Amino acid sequence: MASLATKMILPSENGYRAWEDQTLFKWRKRDPHVTLRCHESIEGSLRYWYQRNNVDLTVSKSAVWNDDAVQASLDSAAFWVDGLPFVKSLSGYWKFFLAPSPANVPEKFYDAAFPDSDWKALPVPSNWQCNGFDRPIYTNIVYPFPNDPPRVPEDNPTGCYRTYFQIPKEWKDRRILLHFEAVDSAFFAWVNGSPVGYSQDSRLPAEFEISDYCYPWDSGKQNVLAVQVFRWSDGSYLEDQDHWWLSGLHRDVLLLAKPKVFIADYFFKSKLADDFSYADILVEVKIDNMLESSKDLLLSNFIIEAAVFDTTSWYKSGGFSDELSPKVANLKLNLSPSPVLGFHGYLLEGKLDSPNLWSAEQPNVYILVVTLKDKSGKLLDSESSIVGIRQVSKAFKQLLVNGHPVMIKGVNRHEHHPRVGKTNIESCMVKDLIMMKEYNINAVRNSHYPQHPRWYELCDLFGMYMIDEANIETHGFDLSGHLKHPAKEPSWAAAMLDRVVGMVERDKNHACIISWSLGNEAGYGPNHSAMAGWIREKDPSRLVHYEGGGSRTDSTDIVCPMYMRIWDIVKIALDKNESRPLILCEYSHAMGNSNGNIDEYWEAINNTFGLQGGFIWDWVDQGLLKLGSDGIKRWAYGGDFGDQPNDLNFCLNGLMWPDRTPHPALHEVKHCYQPIKVSLTDGTIRVANAYFFNTTKELEFSWTVHGDGVELGSGTLSIPVIKPQNSFEMEWKSGPWFSFWNDSKAGELFLTITAKLSNPTRSLEAGHVLSSTQIPLPSKREIIPQAIKKTDPIITSETVGDFIKISEQDSWELMINVQKGAIEGWKVQGVLLMNEAILPCFWRAPTDNDKGGGDSSYFSRWKAAQLDNVEFNVESCSVKSTTDKSVEIEFIYLGSSPSKSDALFKVNVTFIIYGSGDIITNWYVVPNSDLPPLPRVGVEFHIEKTLDRVEWYGRGPFECYPDRKSAAHVGIYEQNVADMHVPYIVPGECGGRTDVRWVTFTNKEGVGIYASTYGSSSPMQMNASYYTTGELDRATHEEDLVKGQSIEVHLDHKHMGIGGDDSWTPCVHDKYLIPPEPYSFSLRLCPITAASSVLDMYKDQLPS
């Protein structure tokens, strides 16, 4: 007979809705604790970790991002409990029915006898929206329902799940725990028709004891587990993170079998000696004693022990054996009264001499095993975990790890998979960590909730500093000022604290966690003070982090602003009254073509005491796969599923596409984060080791020197081993490259010094490039303009109607339209190169950053000035001179919008055509002074689609822009036009290459066009694409783009930076803006054939 309390809490007709009561967030739920594994023996514990820790970069190669991920998630769930005889995963296909609201749930669907044969099958773990039920919703700030706490809409999709299980024979007489790793957003559970509990918090476990509800193993009956999951609950008001709203049993559901008395929880603590020569170890153990006997009585019947085992020899032989796991610390029970008031557990103490310390650079781990035996010494229960010995502490303006102010080179990471949403896969998590390591990332902020338990183990193993963040965000309340804010309301205090407590209790033994976070964008109030106070008392070994309230409240040990400008973070660092370190919790918003200026952040961070790094927003584009009308699945964003409200593509802020293909900006991140810094100052090359714990012993240094883009020499660089935070200096002229420099006649020379791994590691292959720095060497001669030989062939020119035809026998032919003032036809050896005008251009397809800021955005100001609709008309055309060696023609253009009478631009251009086919173009541009900053100043022309082979001397090989180019080395690169395009999910300006000296566009026979800067003009920004600027502006998805009939080429004298300090204000730094003022520049265009020597053309000198 159900109790009155049970009847009141369960969904019923009495009117009470537990999912709309912020004071009721759990019922019959066991206290939070570390992940339990229920080992049968110490050997079993060690063997389990031997198998579980045997993970490296090879695992990442099986990561899947398509429909195969559904099975991979089920395989991972099974893998994670493999080797645990008393843990059973219930992963698999469950019976599923989606009701439109709680009121429409099938009556008594939880009864054992309920007929479910006509229900659909749904994989567990999964989000139901990723499997054809309901729809995903993406919002950033606004709640996807009326903000009326604690009430949620009547239209509240409710998932009904049913599955069947049997208790194994080996579990006889053991207590059975039902463990949900995470359920979004709230749920009730029943076993065999009996209610077992209720829980909220979509990112933390809920555990219930079901011993009394299960059929015995020998009953012959199957047990029925039924779960009712609410899409919306009062808990949703605390989960307004910037990501997809997805529902269901998205992590595994487990059965755990424990003895009558068992290890319920344990807290591993280590205190290092001042010189780090030893560590005192303390383990707090909690015992679940169903007999509820006193501590003394329990100790008279049971023995509690613990030991720490070394793992350094595990994979040096053919397989597992006990001898490979020496016990390095034996922990003894301290029978003295606990110094912790109210602590009813047991204290085990010991000492570990000469510990191998854990850090992100050297992630040394041990295995802690805790055992419970009866008085005869028979083992009853065993628990274990990976542990690391390390010290996190504070100093003036510093966060210290093992006494060192480590630099946080971090990213924010949502749990996101393009096919399975919030569900996790082993190989995909490993892939994330491998890529973080490949790109020199050493820290991750779990944004904005506790993540899958396996993620923490992997971060322990691979070495990743972590901020673990509570599942609390109430950003939508910022739009509803009339409502009482949860941060200040006592009725929400317990729910908020419960989320912090659950996070800390689950994750407290992980060495990777250096700071706990109280959540994200959840305002600030006394509830935060309560949460911070609880954490500081519970775990003083770590720091507390919280940005809300201005990032400098008493509830944070770190000044942790988001998107603060460089000059402002420097100002705080220089404030002597601020004793805390500044670590940006979010910076460099990676939305589309972004992350400009990140090198300037790191210039400030590396040179300002008190600045200690930050976390880029964010790791991966949160695109979800959606089936298109053509039967192909492509990445979708907010609104693509018909979801309302939505925030469009604001979920696409990653350094990578959803399938973990890197954006070009990730190269810039790797460069800024690289641990080996190389510089040349006053004739001295300095190689600095920015590591805090690693020497350069495992690195191999090499050098390469280039002259005018051509490799002149290379070799190994032999330098002494550099200790952490030390450097090596040498005179640059004493290096092995000097003779190549000395013998070279190149105009500019660059030295590249690279550091590679000598040997493989868990995460990186031998030969992996950790850092690569290119430095310009002193010039030996002035770079001078290109030239034409004086034995130029004779050219002819004639006027035919509105055209001037200029040619050199059968070599080349040029048609100039006098009325349009444009080159409209250019042939070389009968091959058509272009038949459209070469015209000035000041517009670019807007990026996401260009659109940020509403009416004050660059895009809005450009549109208001009608820069997107400028037409150029010829005001005058005159032939300045004509000889049999050259022809000079001058055009004056007026650029205006059809709806504006006044010209926006006046452009003077002269074309000097030589017999060699060279065309020297001199441009003088005068914009209206009242225009906003210009997107670009340059020229645009269209060439034949067959000229699809691009070679250039400039920065590359990947996309780069004036404010994002430090990683792009100057060199000679080749690509085809198709590969120049960067397929951002939302199209815009892309594919540019900066600081280009010359470029060629040729067909497969080598015939084409050479273009370069000329005279004193600075290197140009170059772009070539099958997609026009207008097409990149029009399309809202990459797959919507339609290729043009030609290749659109842009050669820009100036190109505005792309910005990236954030994506919602116009924040391109001043030096990367293009003010509306006069500009002059010169370009050289020349036809080429397979016989042409581009390098000679670049080196030659042209008469003025």
Active site residues: 521, 586
What is the torsion angle, in degrees rounded to the nearest 10, for the CA atoms of residue 1059, residue 1060, residue 1062 and residue 1068?
A: -20
What is the torsion angle, in degrees rounded to the nearest 10, for the CA atoms of residue 72, residue 75, residue 80 and residue 85?
A: 180
Residue 510 phi/psi, 5-degree rounding, is -90, 125
Place of tokens 């042209």: 1102
Other beta carbons less than 10 A from residue 419's beta carbon: 24
Contacts of 559 (CB under 8 A, 6+ apart): 551, 552, 572, 578, 580, 581, 582, 583
Peptide bond into 150 cis (omega under 30): yes
Alpha-carbon gap, residue 233 to 198, rounded angstroms: 12
Other beta carbons less than 10 A from residue 792's beta carbon: 16
Considering Cα of 860, then 864, then 865, then 866, what sign does the dihedral take? Answer: positive
Alpha-carbon gap, residue 265 to 345, rounded angstroms: 9
Residue 154 phi/psi, 5-degree rounding, is -65, -35
Q: What helix, strand, coil percent values describe the chain, rounded to 5?
A: 20, 35, 45
What pairs with residue 654 in β-bridges? none
Alpha helices in 887-1034 (DSSP H): 977-980, 1029-1034
Contacts of 548 (CB under 8 A, 6+ apart): 487, 518, 519, 520, 521, 522, 523, 524, 528
Long-range contacts of 328-332, Cβ-Cβ distance < 8 Å, separation of 24 or more: 328/352, 328/366, 329/281, 331/281, 331/283, 331/305, 331/306, 331/307, 332/305
Q: Measure Cα distances from 660 to 61, 70, 433, 655 in Å.
A: 12, 17, 11, 9
What is the torsion angle, in degrees rounded to the nearest 10, for the CA atoms of residue 255, residue 259, residue 264 and residue 269?
A: -110
What is the torsion angle, in degrees rounded to the nearest 10, for the CA atoms of residue 214, residue 216, residue 222 and residue 228?
A: 10
Contacts of 437 (CB under 8 A, 6+ apart): 462, 463, 763, 764
Alpha-carbon gap, residue 664 to 645, rounded angstroms: 31
- How big is the CA angle at 407 (ends 401 and 409), to the nearest 5 degrees? 120
Considering Cα of 567, then 569, then 570, then 572, what sign does the dihedral take? Answer: positive
Considering Cα of 435, then 438, then 440, then 443, what sign does the dihedral take? Answer: positive
Ramachandran region, residue 18 (left: φ > 0; alpha: ψ -120 to 50; beta: rest):
alpha
Q: Measure Cα distances from 759 to 398, 719, 722, 773, 855 in Å.
A: 33, 18, 17, 21, 54
Q: What is the DSSP secondary structure assignment for residue 966, as one 8-state letter?
A: T
What pairs with residue 356 in β-bridges? none
Q: What is the DSSP secondary structure assignment for residue 362, as one 8-state letter?
A: S
Helix (H, G, I), strand (E, B) or coil at 1069: coil
Helix (H, G, I), strand (E, B) or coil at 1033: helix
Q: Measure Cα distances from 1086 to 209, 374, 1011, 1092 in Å.
A: 80, 90, 6, 10
Ramachandran region, residue 930 (left: φ > 0; alpha: ψ -120 to 50; beta: rest):
alpha
Alpha-carbon gap, residue 201 to 496, rounded angstroms: 10
Q: Measure Cα distances from 516 to 233, 671, 945, 1038 in Å.
A: 26, 29, 56, 39
Alpha-carbon gap, residue 714 to 445, rounded angstroms: 40
